[in-house]
Amino acid sequence: EAQVTQNPRYLITVTGKKLTVTCSQNMNHEYMSWYRQDPGLGLRQIYYSMNVEVTDKGDVPEGYKVSRKEKRNFPLILESPSPNQTSLYFCASSSQGIGLAGTYNEQFFGPGTRLTVL
Amino acid sequence: GDSVTQMEGPVTLSEEAFLTINCTYTATGYPSLFWYVQYPGEGLQLLLKATKADDKGSNKGFEATYRKETTSFHLEKGSVQVSDSAVYFCALMGGFKTIFGAGTRLFVKA
pLDDT tens digits along A98-110: 554 556 788 999 9
How far is it, in rounded angstroms, from Cα A50 to Cα A32? Answer: 7
Q: pLDDT at residue B7 above 80? A: yes
Q: For the residues B63-78, what does the mean pLDDT come to?
A: 96
pLDDT confidence of residue B92? 92
- B11: part of which helix (H) or strand (E)? strand B11-14
CB nearest B52 (choices: A43, A90, A101): A101
Cβ atoms of residues B70 and B84 within 8 Å: no
CB nearest A101 (choices: B34, B45, B51): B51
Asked if A56 lies within 8 A of B52 by C-beta distance, the reply is no
Contacts of B31 in chain A (CB under 8 A): 104
CA atoms within 13 A on the CB side of A105: 16
pLDDT tens digits along B14-51: 999 999 999 999 998 888 999 999 998 888 999 999 98
Strand partners, B109: B14
pLDDT confidence of residue A100? 46
How far is it, in rounded angstroms, from Cα A37 to Cα A35? Answer: 7
How far is it, in rounded angstroms, from Cα A52 to Cα B8? Answer: 38
Q: pLDDT at residue A96 above 80? A: no
